[in-house]
Every structure is written in C-alpha cells, then in structure tokens.
Structure 1
C-alpha cells in the first residue's frame, strides 16, 4: 500500500511575496485610477466655472484660482517656449513605466505600493493635462498673511506629494528594521 506525501511548502522569500502579494497590482492601479479621476474631474470643473486668473476667496488662507503651469513644480522652466511640455511628458512617462515595474515586483509591500499608486495617479493626471492642453491646470491657492502665496497646485500634485511622503516613511521604517 502506497502512502501519500504532502508537498513541501517553500519558505523562500520572493519579491512581491507577503501579505496581499497574491492580489497583484490591480488594487494599486485602482488607487491610481481614483487619483486620476478626482484630479481630472476637479480640473474640468474649475476650468468650466472660472476664467483664467479668476480667484474665489474661500477662507482667510485659501482661494480657488484657475492658473496654468507650462513648466514643472513651481513653474520650473515654465517660460521656455514649449519644448519643456514634451520634456516633462517624457520624464513622466518614463517614471510611470518604472513605477509600474516596481509595483509588479513589490505588490505585497502595502505602504510602498500606496506611495507608488499615489505618485502614479498624480503623474498620469498631470501628463493628461500636458498632452491635452500644453500645460498643467492648477487651482488650489494657499497663503498665509504677509508671507505670500504658495504656488497653486492640484489634486495630482497632492497625490505625488503624499506618495513621496509615504515613500520616505516606508524607507525609514525599512532602515530602522535593520
């Protein structure tokens, strides 16, 4: 009489293994999609309700305003005649590809993938603007009394900033474990 043996379970750690690894990148792409959706809906709404440069005071430290940014963060290279549109689009497309690669490789690392998903959604949202309009639509204007205005930004920028913060937190946690 032959006895049946159970197959051995491998305990070798592979990139992307761990809690939630079986889900793949689908959930992370869903988060990125939500960032893009909210970003584009808010930009479309502001563009329909405001004329360029129009400002609506909301609080003593916040306005809604419709402005265009043909450059990068803080209008870097915004006055360069148009080549920067395609330059920043190409950089963003490269970053999007790299983010997708990292997500696929590390899908089970929750905080890391949250960071990547938010950055991905923000990058895609701003690339859509650059390709469709030649500039990024910004509309959130914060300021503090005599200190002046922080450069206007949008939901995509929030996704990128929060994602970058989470990325730093994740890296600090990883370093502190070792």
Structure 2
C-alpha cells in the first residue's frame, strides 16, 4: 500500500509530535525538576526544566495577554498556514516537504504543551567545553531545527540547479 502525499505529510507530522510527547512524558515521570544527569560526561546533560517562554525563554516575562498572542495565537495561525501551504503546494521538493513537516510537528508539540501545562518541558543540554554550548531544549526543538536545516539545504540545491540551468 502506497501512502498518498497528504498521508505521508500528516504521518510525518504525527510522528514528530508523538516522539516529542513521549520523551516529555518520560522526563516528567522519571526526572525530578532541575535534577541533572550526565549522559556523556558533562558534554550531554539531561535535566527537567519548564520553559514558560519561547526559544531560550524569550517572552517568559511578558504579561499574560501578550504571552497568549505571541506564544499561542500567532504560532497556531502560522502553523495552520504552513500546513495548508505544504498540503496544497504540489511543486515543493521532498526536502522542503520533509522540512516543513518537521517544523509543523515540533511547533504543534510545543504549542500543545503551552496549552496543556502553561509551559514547555525542556530537558537536553549540550556543553562541549565552552566551544559549543546550547540552552536546554527538547525533541520538538530538534525537529524544528532539522526542518530549518532541510529547508536551507533545499534552497541551496534549488539555487545551485537554477544557476547551472541558466
């Protein structure tokens, strides 16, 4: 049985949401708040923090009305539009479709947390000895970043092919 394009997209979005929500469920169940566990020495750390803002806690200090607008209403509108866009634009290449689906899945997963819990559970932290250090993030954030990378790659390939054909 071959999946239709729409089924593939919806399935990929659902897989992203499921992986994120399962990982957050496990962290909430088995890792105490602010508990730190070194997974690969002090390079890869597991912790449990609640982020009431967006990326790197941006917006966590906003008043509740602005927080609802910028962290719930606006993201839902954008995710809805992007979902409509990838379902209806048949000209998108496979990297763009995959990238947008990852972004949508990660976005929906984090919005779901904000609606249900009022914050997003973050739990991964990478510190490569000061050379490279991240904030605390989750699977949805990784999905969004993977999606952005795929969109950049797709754009690079499309631009390169257009220049070669010109």
TM-score category, normalised to shorter length: 0.7 to 0.9
Could you tell me which residue of structure 1 aligns to residue 50 of structure 2? 68
Greater shift in the superposed pair: 136-145 or 99-108: 99-108
After superposition, residues 128-143 of structure 1 pair within 5 angstroms as 128-143=112-127
How far apart are residue 82 of structure 1 and its match? 3.5
The two structures have a TM-score, normalised by structure 2, of 0.87
Q: Does 1:50 align with 2:31?
A: yes
Maintained 8 Å contact 1:85/1:134: no
Greater shift in the superposed pair: 81-90 or 67-76: 81-90
Maintained 8 Å contact 1:106/1:113: no
Could you tell me which residue of structure 2 aligns to residue 171 of structure 1? 155
After superposition, residues 1-178 of structure 1 pair within 5 angstroms as 23-60=4-41, 61-83=43-65, 84-107=67-90, 109-146=93-130, 149-178=133-162
SS for the counterpart of 1:151 is: coil
Looking at structure 2, the residues matched to 49 and 64 of structure 1 have their Cα atoms a distance apart, in angstroms, of 11
Looking at structure 1, the residues matched to 131 and 57 of structure 2 have their Cα atoms a distance apart, in angstroms, of 19
SS for the counterpart of 2:61 is: coil
Higher Rg? 1
How far apart are residue 80 of structure 1 and its match? 2.5
Gap regions ≥5 residues in structure 1 = 1-19
Q: Which runs of 4+ in 1 moved over 4 A?
A: 146-149
How far apart are residue 24 of structure 1 and its match? 3.1
Distance 1:34 1:135, change over 3 A: same
The two structures have a TM-score, normalised by structure 1, of 0.82
Maintained 8 Å contact 1:120/1:160: yes
CA RMSD of aligned residues (A): 1.9
Gap regions ≥5 residues in structure 2 = none
Distance 1:65 1:107, change over 3 A: farther
Whichever structure has more helix as a proportion of its residues is 2
